[in-house]
Chain A
Amino acid sequence: MAENTVQEPKVKTSEPLFGKKERKLLTDPLNDNNPITVQVLGICSALAVTSLVYPSVVMAIAVVFVTAFSSLFTSLIRNAIPKQVRMIVQLVIIATLVTIVELTLKRFNYPIYKELSVYIGLIITNCIVMGRLEAFSMANKPWRSFLDGIGNGLGYGAILIMVAVIREIFGKGSLFAGSPLEMKLIGAGADFMINTETSALFGWYSNNGLMVLPAAAMFIIGIMIWIQRSWNKKLIDIS
């Protein structure tokens, strides 16, 4: 992190809005402290929703929203939360936000709500969210907690989308199926879900059935962890 920092105008507080620490909060979860590949949290939904890119993108946005705002709200009331019931209070905040996400999807994009079905509701149990609230928001100021929430949501979402891209291309030969951007990449045209006969790049390719199954996500995430660990010096075990 040695680049020249753009001087942000200082706002009241002595802490800068986007200082080194703040940027670290955003970028750390993307690589060095990724919720999925390093902390190995939130695997269940990462296996379940990643067979298509479009639902994964929606899921990623939903999780970013929930982690960001639950961190913010928890941090705002952190000094008022009674210690004895703090987990329940956090859970109520998370559940509220998840319900809002669920209602919003139902209201504005019903088909995708059907596609994601229970997994939106299961964000409540996603360890990333609760984990960040306990570990960070309960002890930090609102703005930093908010950034930490966004960072962790993005770290989760990035892996989700990467896995989904691989699985959809090799499992269905398409990208963004179900959305207006839907395109056919490889394999015979006019075959699977997609009606366009254009861009049948590798006509000989036949869809890999394994890639559609959740097990494929397990393998892909495993390989990702392997690559990341051999490439990121900070993650190499010194002992």
Chain B
Amino acid sequence: MNTAYVVRFVVIMTALVALSLALLSQTWAEKIKENEAIFNKRSILSAVKEYLGNDADGNPKDPKKLPDDEIIKIFDEQVEQIALDMAGNRLGPEQVQASGYPGGKAENIDMAKEKKKDEAVRILPLYIFNSNEGKFYIVSIRGKGLWDEIWGNIALKSDLNTIVGASFDHKGETPGLGAEIKDNPKFPASFIGKEIYNTDGRLISVAVKKNAGKKNPHAVDAISGATVTSVGVEEMMERGIKYYEPFFNSLKGTK
């Protein structure tokens, strides 16, 4: 087997493989993008899962189990999405596109990409969920856990103070420890009813600490054995919600 044969073999084989894989990936690209979008919508709706209403059997709807088309339907009918800049101004679709998201909608904003940008030029997605029980404001936040990035969505009541739900996810936290922020529904549920402003009207967010106590409106219990992830969640909440403060203030001003 001479060199010419080896080269010929490798070239033909690689070409065949590359061609078939490219073809497959192209045929499915659209649907995969759709799946990604639905996955994102699901996690956004998880933050307001208490207010999604009941299904036909009378059980509360679980965004993790709803079929895809229902997720899209709820999202289209009940969610209003706004893109914001760091000063709290609403951005039009063109400005979102200019930031590198051809979709032009708030849901197209990739928080991981935004996190790498300079703080001043970032753009933020905000979702307003309209339900029978009123308006809920869902903010997206992103930070750092122990091993890799963590992120989440926090839903606020229309007073822009009380948290009504949260959902978290992570890239590589330890199962059974840091990964509990996502796996254990008790952790996101512990944020419900907490307040992000103190009595003086200053934004202090919610601390994640030991022995927080049920009555403390500004703290939740940390996950034992996952100190770094807990601190990461606390830091992410504080910084992430602060980004939205200018917009909240403008909302309050117009009221």
Contacts and interface: CB of A to CB of B under 8 A. Distances in A.
Interface string A40-64: 0000000000010000000000000
Interface residues of B, number: 29
Interface stretch (B17-25, B160-168, B243-251): B17-25
A83 B39 CA distance: 46
A138 B175 CA distance: 40
A82 B28 contact: no
Interface string A197-229: 000000000000101111000000000000000
A110 B39 contact: yes
Chain A binding surface SS class: helix
Given A96-B21, A100-B21, A107 B13 contact: no
Contacts of B1: 82-84
Interface in A83-121: 83-85, 88-89, 92, 96, 99-100, 103, 106-107, 110-111, 114, 117
Interface string B22-44: 00110010011001101100000
Given A82-B1, A103-B24, A213-B176, A96 B183 contact: no
B6 interface: yes
Interface string B109-152: 00000000000000000000000000000000000000000000
A195 B62 contact: yes
B183 A193 contact: yes
Nearest to A93: B17
A114 B28 CA distance: 17
Nearest to B24: A103
B103 interface: no
B14 interface: yes
Given A89-B13, A100-B21, A110-B39, A213 B31 contact: no
B239 to A, nearest CB: 25
Among A82, A84, A114: residue with most chain B CB under 10 A: A82
Chain B binding surface SS class: helix
B32 A107 contact: yes
A101 B119 CA distance: 38
A110 B28 CA distance: 13
Among B6, B14, B62: residue with most chain A CB under 10 A: B6
Contacts of A92: 13-14, 17
Given A92-B17, A171-B176, A107 B35 contact: yes
B139 to A, nearest CB: 22
Contacts of A110: 32, 35-36, 38-39
Contact of B9 (A81, A193, A209): A81
Given A89-B9, A209-B177, 5 more contacts: A80-B9, A92-B14, A100-B24, A107-B31, A107-B35
Interface of A: 51, 80-85, 88-89, 92, 96, 99-100, 103, 106-107, 110-111, 114, 117, 171, 192-193, 195, 209, 211-214
